[in-house]
Amino acid sequence: MVSGGRLKGRVALITGAAQGIGKAIAVKMAMEGASLALLDIDERVMELADQLESEAIPVCAFKVDVSEEESVEDAVKRIVERFKRLDVVVNNAGTVRPAALEEVTDDDWEVVIRVNLKGPFLCVKHAVPFMKEQHYGKIVNIGSRAALGKLDRTVYSTTKAGIIGLTRTLALELAPHNINVNNVAPGPIATELFSAANPPGSPKTKAIIKSVPLGRMGQPEDVANVVAFLASDEASFVTGQTIFVCGGLSIGGVYF
């Protein structure tokens, strides 16, 4: 892998980096020249770090539950000790427990809220003091087109709508410190998790693709490209925004 580009000299923390969209974001940012700090509860985050390190990418990785404040605080401190700065936070870690309203359990509610909302809050809370010292920072939250409504996603869509509010409020609060905060909201993306629930060629998958105005599934790289832009100085006048990467589902179609 050849590194260089828009993020040269920057240090990026990416949560949920072990697979799917998070992994694609890590690879894209490495290609753009960033040093990486990868967080995930999945052990495979260590394998990705080893792979990137073998390609001369400055990287460290931590097995972290982003909903546990002490673990997040410790990881952020260790990242700054290692790289001496922290420029970018990508809040990608998330979970989903599909269920209609009457099937949602208390545990479903607590787990999804804790990971999808508390996790980003904690990562930002502990990263921002270092960004304020630098008078520079880029925070990119990963939301979802489901924030606009999606069947059987009662809790998940609630958390992703909450991310929009968090993004807008943090953008106002942190603008005086030269810290940009934005939200990328993917639609149906062809990840391992999506394919496991929606096998390629199945009637449900065909219905999803038919509902997308562009007529195809998105790829993890489609999301990673937008995240890299928002993490760069090319987006220095963009803050508080939600950018949908959904093939047009935010303007038409029904997301099954």
Task: Just list the catalytic residues.
Answer: 156
84 Cβ neighbours under 8 A, 6+ residues apart: none
Cα-trace Rg, the chain: 17
CA distances 232 to 16, 88, 139, 205, Å, are 20, 9, 11, 34
Distance of alpha carbon 50 from alpha carbon 86, whole angstroms: 21
Closest CA to 15 of 67, 80, 81: 67
CA 228 to chain centre: 11
Distances in whole angstroms, Cα of residue 186 to Cα of each of 12, 153, 175, 181: 20, 15, 25, 17
